[in-house]
Amino acid sequence: MTNPEHTNPTNLVEHPRGAAPGKPGDRSAFGFETITRLPDAADGKGRGGARYGRTGILHTPHGDIHTPAFVPVATQAAMKAVLPETMRAEGAQCMLSNAFHLYERPGEDVLDAAGGLAKFMNWDGPTFTDSGGFQVLSLGAGFKKTLAMDVTGMKSDDVIADGKERLAFVDEDGVTFKSPLNGSLHRFSAEISMGIQHKIGADIMFAFDELTTLMNTRRYQEQSVERTYRWAQRCVAEHQRLTAERLGKPYQALYGVVQGANYEDLRRHAAEQIASLDFDGVGIGGAIEKRIIGDTCAWICDAMPESRPRHVLGIAAVDDIFACVENGGDTFDCVAPARCGRNGAIFTRDGRYNVKRAEFKTDFGPLEEGCDCYTCTHYSKAYVDHLLRAREFNGFTLATIHNEHFFIKLLDDIRESIDGGYFDEFRDATLARFYAHGSRG
């Protein structure tokens, strides 16, 4: 089904598929084809014992993504401390940037003038942008990276983290917020988010949604799901208008986002709402309790057409990745591998450890025995430890390269196990080894 002329990545940035002068982007340049589906099982979490895990090929204007796949996060059109060429060499197929941060700087008009996100950052492959919904929550509630939490006895319609000022305010039309850079006042809505993301020019973008925390009350979650659905309808309409208006640009796929926190009925209801709209794919988002992360994916996939790719937003715990893949996740993004690496936390097949521990000061072996990433084939634990302690940027680079490679390779191996018919055995062996010593991650 893959067109042979599309298998060569040469000049993909210059010549994306489905773009012709004076014409709207060709939607047929985007699509998903399933290769191998996990067999259903007695303990399958989907309807009738379904297991929605699969391998596939996600076709985009700037190239194909073989799924399941990990999507490294280049928040501001850059993977922190690592060049795009290095990410490609380590096996990355695609990258995700943040629409909110790029709106703040350098501004969506700059990216539009540059020819879009991929060309701007010299990345020769597919790109994603998220809608800014997470930043709205972090500005409004002050939780930054923390969504999963112990919420026993802590329910409120007006959640705010201790010691934080509320910088974002949600209403029916959108969100008003203060810039964390300079305190200036800004406005995001479904239409504004679509306009920004169209100018940024990623292959895949997300509808503007309201992200809640697990601390919000059931009543607020219900209201938020309905508001996100109304915003989704507006996003689809604006997306279609901009696609027809912005001639000569490649088609940008739009994913709807399913919210509903940890409530099964709300998740199923929201999934049916998003499935009813003319989206190209679905984002599985929001705060999710770890114990039901696989169930949540299955509830959503029960309602989704098989042809729509599914992206799980912000997941990078090894056990969570396996649970989400088994229950339908196709692509995954998270800042954790890079952020953890900059703090010295190293992911390996035998668990996660901190390279800045005293015992590694004179350990001249690689970060992980048997790893073929650039860092492990050229540098030692002792050297990376030294760089990180000295706050040398090269330390951030080397630790990030290894951690990103770990997750890229993990998803590559999972994909191979599904195609090879040994996913269950690979899952069990990998998790037993990774968590043998109680490692986090």
* pLDDT tens readout for residues 370-405: 999 999 999 999 999 999 999 999 999 999 999 999
The least confident of 141-145, 203-207, 241-245, 332-336 is 141-145
Nearest in space to 92 (alpha carbons), one of 343, 430, 411, 384: 411
Cα separation, 296 vs 365, whole angstroms:
41
- Token pair 């112990």 is found at 150
The least confident of 153-167, 256-270, 292-306 is 153-167
Superfamily holding 29-331? Queuine tRNA-ribosyltransferase-like (3.20.20.105)
Cα separation, 399 vs 396, whole angstroms:
5
Query: Which uninterrupted H or E stretch holds 283?
Result: strand 281-284
- Token pair 């009925």 is found at 265
Structure confidence by residue, pLDDT tens digits, 364-377: 999 999 999 999 99
Told to judge if 333 belongs to the known catalytic residues of this protein, a careful annotator would answer: yes
Cα separation, 206 vs 398, whole angstroms:
31
Average pLDDT of 349-367? 98
Q: Which one is catalytic: 64, 302, 320, 333?
A: 333
* CA 93 to the chain's CA centroid: 13
Told to judge if 130 belongs to the known catalytic residues of this protein, a careful annotator would answer: yes
Q: Which one is catalytic: 130, 280, 295, 320?
A: 130
Cα separation, 239 vs 280, whole angstroms:
11
348 pLDDT more than 50: yes
Cα separation, 331 vs 58, whole angstroms:
10
Map out the domains of the chain as residue ranges.
Answer: 29-331, 335-435
Could you list the residues known to form a binding site for Zn(2+), using ranges.
371, 373, 376, 402
pLDDT band at 7 (very low <50, low <70, confident <90, very high): very low
227 pLDDT more than 80: yes
The model carries a pTM of 0.92
Cα separation, 368 vs 123, whole angstroms:
28
Query: Which uninterrupted H or E stretch holds 348?
Result: strand 345-348
Alpha helix (H) ranges present in 201-342? 218-245, 264-275, 293-303, 318-326, 336-342
Could you list the residues known to form a binding site for substrate, using ranges.
130-134, 209, 259, 286
